[in-house]
Amino acid sequence: MSGTAPASATPYATFPGPAVPTLAYDSPAYRQAYSRINGMVVVGETLADRHFRRLAELLPPDREELLRLGAMEARHARDFVGCGRNLGVKADTGLARRLLAPLHQQFQQAEAQADLVSCLVIQCLIIECFAVAAYRLYLPVADPYAEPITAAVMADEREHLNYGEQWLRPRFAAVAQQVEACARRAVPVALGMLQELRGDLATISIDPSALVAEFMVLFQESLEAIGYAEAAARRLVNRLATRALA
Ligand code: PL3
Ligand code: FE2
Ligand code: FE2
């Protein structure tokens, strides 16, 4: 690992490309980008914890389970703070709070309107698909300390996604319209967050376009899991992506 790579040039492996052991985790460029990406992850996990605790209030029969999922999120936030600490990097949470605020506001609005379906779609489908996509792409380029932590967190996020899918699936006919309306509002906002992170993502060797593509694949799978036919799910996701990226 080289600590002397210039911050201006890309000191990393040919990008996009397979992970290589020369990723300069200790270069100033990597550390600055990591601080902002790590901030996104830490703030995102902390918000997810809050959302699950709100969901626990909204869904009394599942209260214990939702509190357990929330506790997992708090744990993820701590684990990723540890990944930053291991690199000697402090999470930059300012940008993250600003970027995540619109999605959090949509959750709060849905809660204020007692729109449980939208709360579930925002946290358990959209945010969790985003998390799984991000961690999947980070995994092959993570430093050796963060790698096993990321793998474990990713398995947890899959569980959170499954919770939402399993709640929505048996109610598909009754909730489909709300799911679509919510996705139309929230997916563009979620993808919009990535715009300001493109440079930082590239610096830590995550291809921003690949992240969007991965999110779309996962979100389409989720829509199919809750009852959409494949063609309908694909159409919906493509419409949302076109709008978000236009
Ligand atoms: C749900 O459990 C948590 C939601 C977290 C949101 C993650 C935002 C990710 C932004 C792009 C991060 C790339 C991955 C880097 C990992 C250190
Ligand atoms: Fe999480
Ligand atoms: Fe999660």
157 in ligand 1 pocket by Cβ < 6 Å? yes
Separation of 50 CA from ligand 2 center, angstroms?
A: 11
Per-residue pLDDT at 22: 61
Sign of the CA dihedral with 26 first, then 79, 216, and 48 last = negative
**Tens place of pLDDT for every residue, the chain, 246 residues?**
333 333 333 444 445 555 555 689 999 999 999 999 999 999 999 999 999 999 999 999 999 999 999 999 999 999 999 999 999 999 999 999 999 999 999 999 999 999 999 999 999 999 999 999 999 999 999 999 999 999 999 999 999 999 999 999 999 999 999 999 999 999 999 999 999 999 999 999 999 999 999 999 999 999 999 999 999 999 999 999 877 766
Per-residue pLDDT at 21: 52
Per-residue pLDDT at 243: 72
214 in ligand 1 pocket by Cβ < 6 Å? no
Per-residue pLDDT at 242: 79
> Quick check: 244 and 191 in contact, CB under 8 A?
yes
> What are the boundaries of each domain within the chain?
28-245
Closest C-alpha to ligand 1, atom 8: 41
> Quick check: 168 and 117 in contact, CB under 8 A?
yes
Per-residue pLDDT at 23: 83
112: number of CA atoms within 13 Å, CB side? 6
Q: Hey, what CATH topology would domain 28-245 get?
A: Ferritin (1.20.1260)
Separation of 80 CA from ligand 1 center, angstroms?
A: 10
Dist. CA 142–CA 134, nearest whole Å: 12
Per-residue pLDDT at 151: 98
153 in ligand 1 pocket by Cβ < 6 Å? no
Q: Which of 175, 160, 172 minimizes the C-alpha distance to 218?
A: 160
Dist. CA 99–CA 113, nearest whole Å: 23
194 in ligand 1 pocket by Cβ < 6 Å? no
